[in-house]
Amino acid sequence: MTPLPTSIRTLLVANRGEIAIRVLRTCRERGIRTVAVYSEADASALHVRMADVAVPVGPAPSSQSYLVQERILEAAKATGADAIHPGYGFLSENAAFAEACAEAGILFVGPPPEAIRTMGDKTEARLLMQQANVPMAPGTTDAVQDEAEAERIAAEIGYPVLVKAAAGGGGKGMRVVERADEFQSALRGAQSEALSAFGDGRVFIEKFFTQPRHIEFQVFADTHGNAVHLFERECSIQRRHQKVIEEAPSAILTPELRAEMGAAAVKATLACGYVGAGTVEFLFDEGQYYFLEMNTRLQVEHPVTEAITGLDLVAEQLRVAEGEPLGYTQDDLTMHGHAIESRVYAEDVKAGFLPAPGPLLRHRPPSGFGVRVDAGVEEGDTVPVHYDPMISKLSTWAPTREAAIARMDRALAEYDIAGVETTIPFCRFVMQHEAFRSGDFNTSFVGKHFTPDALAPDAETQRVAALAVGLLNFEEANASAPVLNGHHAPVSRWAQRRR
C-alpha cells in the first residue's frame, strides 16, 4: 500500500452541485489546488467552472460517471490529487471506495472503511449500539430470516412496526405495518425493494413511533482518540421520509437532555472507531430518545451547525484527514443563536413533491445579514433530470429562534426563481404555521397540516400572474409581427413604450 500524504496540496471533489462548490470554496481559502469531475450532463456546471482543473468521467447517468470508482481514481492520479473529498451521496459512504483510495495512496476525507461498513449495515450498527449501551428502539439486531418467526417478533414488539432494509436508506426498503394481517405482504415488499435498490434483500424489524421527532447530533473525531459533539439539529419537517427543513438547536431539548443525548452520540462515535465528521440520528418520542442510525459523512444540513458554532466543518474535515487533533474539547464548545435551513428543490409541491427539473430562467437569491445561500446552479443553468433536483440550501441565523424564523420567511419571500416549480412556497407555509412557530411538531407535520390547497394563490397573486401572462403574449405577438421600415410593427401601446 502506498504511504498516505500528511498534507493536502491537490484535492479532487468526487461530487457535483452545491456540496462540490462548498468544498471547493474552503479549499480555495486554504490554498489547496482543486479538481472537479463531471458527467456529460454537467459539462458546463458551476462546480466545473469553479475548480482549477476539471475531468470528464462519463455519461449523464451517475451509474456511468460519478459512481464509477475507477474513473474517479484515474482522474485523481492524472491530476496529481493527493486527497479525495466525497461530499455526500454517490461514493461518500462506500467502504470499498475508501479502501481503494488508501490502496492508491490517496487520502479519503472521511471515516475509516471499517466504520463506514459497520454503520452502513443497520443490523450491525444496532448490535454495536446495544453493546455500547446507546438507547435503541425495541427491535431485532439481526436480519429476519423466517417469515413466521418475523411475524412472531413483530407481535412481541407490538404494532405498528417498521420493516427496514439492513443496507441502505432514503426511505427505500421500508414499510410501516399497522396490523398483523398486513405483515407478510409488507415484509416481502420491503425485501424486494431492498434487493432492487441495494442488491441486498435483508431487512430487520423495529418499533414504529407514530409521532416522533427526528433529532440528530453532529459528531467529530480525530485520529488521536478525541471525539466531541457539535450539538443537535432538528430534522422533523420531512416529505417522503426525507428532510426539507432543519434547524439548530432543537426547540424542545433542555440543557440536561442535550448533554445526555450528546454523550450518547459521542459514545456511538467512539464505539465504531470513527474519524472525521459524522451524524448520529435519534428518534425522540415522549421524552425518550432512541438510536436510529449513523450517517458516516458530512450532512446536507451542516450549515446550521456551522452557524451556531462558528466552525467551518469542511476545514475541520481536512485538518483531521491530515492527522491533526481536534484542538478543542467538549467544554470549549458553545452554541450561539439559532439557525434554520430550507432546502430549495425543483419540485412540484402540489403534485406530491415530485421532481420538476428544467431550465433555470431566473435565479436571484436573497441576501442580507444572517442569510446564507449554498447554490449548485446559476441563472441560465439547467436543473438536470439525472440527479437530485436541489437548487440550493437557504440558511438564516439570528440570536433567537423567533427571529431566525422571521428572517427565513423574509428571505424566502425575496428568493426569485423562474422556469421550474420549487419548494419555496411550502417552506414559507412551514415558517408561517403555528405548529412550527410554537415548536409543537413532529415528523407527521406534512401529513397532519399540509395539503396542496394550502398553497393556492390569493386573488392578488392570481391577478398579477394573469397580467404577466398577458404581457408575455404581447411580446410573443410582437416578435412575430410584420416588419415595417426595418422594425416589427408593434401590436400594443405597451410594446410601443418598450421600444
C-alpha cell at 146: 423466517
Please count the structural domains in the chain: 4
The reported pLDDT for the residue numbered 485 is: 44
> Range of 76's domain?
10-109
Name residue, grid cell 412540484: 348
Name residue, grid cell 394481517: 181
Give dist(CA 424, CA 427) in Å, integer: 5
The DSSP H or E segment spanning 58 is strand 53-58
Q: Same structural domain for residues 232 and 300?
A: yes
Q: Same structural domain for residues 465 and 429?
A: no
The reported pLDDT for the residue numbered 457 is: 59
- The identity of residue 424, as a single letter, is I
Q: Is 186 domain-assigned?
A: yes
Q: Same structural domain for residues 451 and 463?
A: no
CA distances from 498 to 317, 463, 465, 468 (A): 54, 22, 20, 15
Q: Same structural domain for residues 313 and 380?
A: yes
The reported pLDDT for the residue numbered 4 is: 81
C-alpha cell at 113: 472503511
Q: Same structural domain for residues 257 and 390?
A: yes
Give dist(CA 276, CA 11) in Å, integer: 16
- The identity of residue 295, as a single letter, is N
The reported pLDDT for the residue numbered 494 is: 28
The model carries a pTM of 0.89
Cβ-Cβ contacts under 8 Å for 88 (sequence gap 6 or more)? 15, 19, 297, 298, 299, 300
Q: Same structural domain for residues 387 and 350?
A: yes
Q: Is 132 domain-assigned?
A: no
Q: Is 115 domain-assigned?
A: no
Q: Same structural domain for residues 146 and 44?
A: no
Q: What are phi and psi of 26, to 5 degrees?
A: -65, -40
Q: Same structural domain for residues 89 and 146?
A: no
Q: Is 64 domain-assigned?
A: yes
Determine the Cα angle at 485 with ends 481 and 488, to 5°.
20
Q: Is 5 domain-assigned?
A: no
pLDDT tens digits for range 429-457: 999 999 999 999 999 999 999 998 888 65
Q: What are phi and psi of 103, to 5 degrees?
A: -60, -35
Long-range contacts of 350-357 (CB under 8 A, 24+ apart): 350/452, 350/455, 351/452, 353/239, 353/240, 353/423, 353/426, 355/385, 355/389, 356/389, 356/420, 356/421, 357/382, 357/383, 357/384, 357/385, 357/389, 357/420
The reported pLDDT for the residue numbered 491 is: 38
Q: Is 127 domain-assigned?
A: no
Q: Which residues pair with 340 in a beta bridge?
A: 247, 396
Q: Same structural domain for residues 299 and 428?
A: yes
| 297 annotated active-site | yes
Burial of 133-144, coded b for 16+ CB within 10 Å and e otherwise, reads ebebbebbbebb
Q: How far is CA 332 from the centre of its chain?
A: 28
Q: Is 120 domain-assigned?
A: no
**Count of CB atoms situated within 10 Å of the CB of 154:** 25
Q: Which of these is catalytic: 126, 175, 239, 297?
A: 297
The reported pLDDT for the residue numbered 498 is: 34
The reported pLDDT for the residue numbered 215 is: 98
User: Running along the chain, 499 residues long, what does each successive block of 10 average in pLDDT?
Assistant: 84 98 98 98 97 98 98 98 97 97 98 97 94 95 91 95 87 92 95 92 94 97 98 96 95 98 98 98 96 96 98 98 97 98 97 96 98 97 96 98 98 98 98 98 96 69 51 54 45 33
The reported pLDDT for the residue numbered 478 is: 57
pLDDT tens digits for range 6-36: 899 999 999 999 999 999 999 999 999 999 9
Q: Is 3 domain-assigned?
A: no
Q: How many CA atoms lie within 13 A of 405 on its CB side?
A: 16
